[in-house]
């Protein structure tokens, strides 16, 4: 039995104004398991007309005013019901869906679902504790206060590497704020978002408040972002698509929040504990086969320990067990698609032609049981430098490059020498140095003697070409709100400005 046989994933897959409907043009797309290429579902593919209907439904629901005016406690209760449904009954099922859709290991999918549950609970709590601000004008007859109101109709566009998690980082604060939404998952990985919208429906989300249009970026995505009826676009994905969306949004001055990935440095000083540093660099680079926006794919290591460090790293990279995500023995899964693997392979060929030294991987696994999947071995390139494209560009695959530095100032300069600025890591045994370096790095998240961890309560987002705006934390709620200053004169009288 494939997942396509399960009722959860049976068509129809568009959710418009509280109804599950077929794509009006009859379009559909085969969804394949990256581990073996088999078709696991056939998903309705919306078109620009469906996108327009979704926006109209969200617009009408917002303008009718019921959801924005729903008491905060009731909106929070809905988020908690979604979290409970996930936690109590659907955690394993949706983790399995995420694994066959993305290729990631079941262990990773479970961590993602737990994060999603935590995010829904966090925003339920935050929105309930958030107060208006009184401003002292000096005039006792004036009540001046700053209040928050929902931003309006939000288009939420998510990528394929963390489909449910990225969409939840958007849906949970948007609903908490009182917005209505149109969700567009990646056409490559729509399954878990369809499952989530079914849970939202069961949790009692009113018609029109959440709408779902699975479909292509150039068709549905472009139609959504060009709409004059949208108030906010929140996008996570590649930088090229991000700037295309920013241009589309500029036409109607639509607000945009963009999370566009990174090329993240991991700085290792000679005084760092070696075993934990090797372990952190390995995990940071190769988790989910490097398909992580915050992957630490640039190792920048102090030259006095570099040879020994890279040897240990390459040895461990060569031992990573690559295999199907549903197989408990696999430590990392395949790349998301044959097309994406071809892109990664082109980067490996480029690295070799640029003169980098291959220390591990650099090829597909030889195991014939993996021949039908999009697998690729963890790859380590030594003796890299900033002139190389494999050091500057986001490869979004299991490719780690190694650069070397002498002094602390050189390490900082290299760490900041990137167009991106999403995340960075620092390993050192000297806390004072650690504090100096993390403050000097121009990245949205910096880990000191840790890597890759985050919490729903702390903001996430990038400097530079990694995007604009923040997700998670109070800042992630602020994205979905307008700020209004209300000046109330309680004893009006003529001001006599004009005679």
With tokens 């998240």, the residue in question is 445
Draw the binding track, 140-179, toward ligand TXE (x: CB under 6 A; -: no contact).
-----------------xxxxx------------------
Pick the closer one to ligand TXE by CB: 152 or 237.
Answer: 237
One residue of 261, 323, 362, 456 binding ligand TXE per CB under 6 A: 261
Contacts by residues 219-222 (CB-CB < 8 Å, ≥ 24 positions apart): 219/46, 219/47, 219/48, 219/51, 220/46, 220/47, 220/48, 220/50, 220/51, 220/184, 221/157, 221/184, 221/245, 222/48, 222/248
Q: Would you mind telling me the total number of residues written for the chain in this entry?
A: 499
Q: How far is the CA of 178 from the CAs of 74, 302, 340, 483, in angstroms?
A: 11, 50, 37, 13
Please choose, out of 47-55, 230-238, 272-280, 439-447, the segment that lies near ligand TXE by the rule CB under 6 A: 230-238
Tokens found for residue 91: 């955690």
One residue of 18, 206, 238, 365 binding ligand TXE per CB under 6 A: 238
Pick the closer one to ligand TXE by CB: 115 or 427.
Answer: 115
Q: Specify whether 259 is catalytic.
A: yes
Mapped onto helix, strand or coil, the DSSP state of residue 326 is coil
Draw the binding track, 187-206, toward ligand TXE (x: CB under 6 A; -: no contact).
x-------------------
| Residue 417 φ/ψ, nearest 5 degrees | -85, 70
Residue 31 Cβ vs ligand TXE, minimum distance, rounded to whole Å? 14
Please choose, out of 70-78, 216-224, 372-380, 443-451, the segment that lies near ligand TXE by the rule CB under 6 A: 216-224
Pick the closer one to ligand TXE by CB: 47 or 126.
Answer: 47
Is residue 221 close enough to count as binding ligand TXE by CB under 6 A?
A: yes
> Which candidate in 259, 394, 403, 479 is catalytic?
259
Contacts by residues 15-22 (CB-CB < 8 Å, ≥ 24 positions apart): 15/197, 15/201, 15/210, 15/211, 15/212, 16/50, 16/53, 16/54, 16/57, 16/211, 16/212, 16/213, 17/53, 17/57, 17/60, 17/61, 17/207, 17/208, 17/211, 18/201, 18/206, 18/207, 18/208, 19/207
Number of H helices, E strands in the chain: 16, 20
Please choose, out of 203-211, 241-249, 307-315, 449-457, the segment that lies near ligand TXE by the rule CB under 6 A: 241-249
Pick the closer one to ligand TXE by CB: 151 or 293.
Answer: 293
Is residue 234 close enough to count as binding ligand TXE by CB under 6 A?
A: no
One residue of 99, 109, 186, 401 binding ligand TXE per CB under 6 A: 186
Q: Specify whether 154 is catalytic.
A: no
Pick the closer one to ligand TXE by CB: 123 or 396.
Answer: 396
Tokens found for residue 487: 């000046």
* 101 vs 158: CA distance, rounded Å: 14
Tokens found for residue 195: 């499952």
Is residue 396 close enough to count as binding ligand TXE by CB under 6 A?
A: yes
Please choose, out of 26-34, 42-50, 192-200, 214-222, the segment that lies near ligand TXE by the rule CB under 6 A: 214-222
* 323 vs 62: CA distance, rounded Å: 46
Ramachandran sector of residue 210 (left: φ over 0; alpha: ψ -120 to 50; beta: rest) = beta
Residue 227 Cβ vs ligand TXE, minimum distance, rounded to whole Å? 11
| Residue 19 φ/ψ, nearest 5 degrees | -125, 140
Pick the closer one to ligand TXE by CB: 254 or 428.
Answer: 254
> Which candidate in 154, 179, 187, 293 is catalytic?
293
Is residue 44 close enough to count as binding ligand TXE by CB under 6 A?
A: no
Tokens found for residue 331: 């430590």
With tokens 């077929």, the residue in question is 22
Residue 138 Cβ vs ligand TXE, minimum distance, rounded to whole Å? 47
Sign of the CA dihedral running 52, 57, 60, 61: negative
Draw the binding track, 266-305, toward ligand TXE (x: CB under 6 A; -: no contact).
---------------------------x------------
Q: Which residues bind ligand TXE (CB under 6 A)?
A: 157-161, 184, 186-187, 216-218, 221-222, 225, 236-238, 241, 244-245, 259-261, 293, 394, 396
Would you name the residues annotated as active-site residues? 259, 293
């Amino acid at each position: 039995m494939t997942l396509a046989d399960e009722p959860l994933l049976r068509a129809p897959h568009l959710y418009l104004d509280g109804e599950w409907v077929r794509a009006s043009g009859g379009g559909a797309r085969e969804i394949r398991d990256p581990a073996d290429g088999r078709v696991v579902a056939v998903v309705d593919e919306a078109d620009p007309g469906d996108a327009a209907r979704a926006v109209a439904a969200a617009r009408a629901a917002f303008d009718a005013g019921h959801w924005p005016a729903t008491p905060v406690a009731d909106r929070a209760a809905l988020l908690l019901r979604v979290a409970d449904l996930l936690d109590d009954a659907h955690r394993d099922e949706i983790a399995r869906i995420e694994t066959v859709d993305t290729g990631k290991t079941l262990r990773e999918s479970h961590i993602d679902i737990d994060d999603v549950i935590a995010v829904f609970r966090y925003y339920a709590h935050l929105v309930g504790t958030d107060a208006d601000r009184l401003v002292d004008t000096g005039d006792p007859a004036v009540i001046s206060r700053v209040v928050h109101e929902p931003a309006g109709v939000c288009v939420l566009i998510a990528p394929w590497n963390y489909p449910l998690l990225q969409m939840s980082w958007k849906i949970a604060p948007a609903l908490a704020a009182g917005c209505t939404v149109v969700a567009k998952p990646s056409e490559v990985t729509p399954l878990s978002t369809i499952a989530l919208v079914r849970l939202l429906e069961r949790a009692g989300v009113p018609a029109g408040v959440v709408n779902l249009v699975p479909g292509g970026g150039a068709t549905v995505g472009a139609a959504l972002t060009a709409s004059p009826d949208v108030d906010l676009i929140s996008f996570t994905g590649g930088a090229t698509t991000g700037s295309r969306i920013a241009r589309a949004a500029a036409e109607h001055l639509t607000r945009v929040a963009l999370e566009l990935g990174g090329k993240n440095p991991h700085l290792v000083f000679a005084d760092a504990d070696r075993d934990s540093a090797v372990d952190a660099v390995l995990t940071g680079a190769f988790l989910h086969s490097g398909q992580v926006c915050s992957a630490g794919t640039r190792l920048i290591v102090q030259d006095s320990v570099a040879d020994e460090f890279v040897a240990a790293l390459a040895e461990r990279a060569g031992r990573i067990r690559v295999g199907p995500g549903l197989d408990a023995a696999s430590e990392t899964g395949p790349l998301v698609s044959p097309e994406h693997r071809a892109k990664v392979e082109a980067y490996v060929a480029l690295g070799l032609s640029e003169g980098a030294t291959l220390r591990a991987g650099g090829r597909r696994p030889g195991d014939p049981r993996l021949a039908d999947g999009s697998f690729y071995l963890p790859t380590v390139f030594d003796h890299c430098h900033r002139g190389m494209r494999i050091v500057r560009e986001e490869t979004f695959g299991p490719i780690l490059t190694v650069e070397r530095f002498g002094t602390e100032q050189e390490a900082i300069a290299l760490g900041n020498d990137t167009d991106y600025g999403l995340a960075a890591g620092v390993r050192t045994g000297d806390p004072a140095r650690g504090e100096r370096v993390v403050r000097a790095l121009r990245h949205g998240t910096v880990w000191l003697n840790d890597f890759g961890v985050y919490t729903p309560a702390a903001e996430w987002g990038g400097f530079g070409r990694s995007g604009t705006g923040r997700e998670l934390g109070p800042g992630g709620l602020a994205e979905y709100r307008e700020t209004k200053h209300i000046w109330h004169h309680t004893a009006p009288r003529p001001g006599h400005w004009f005679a």
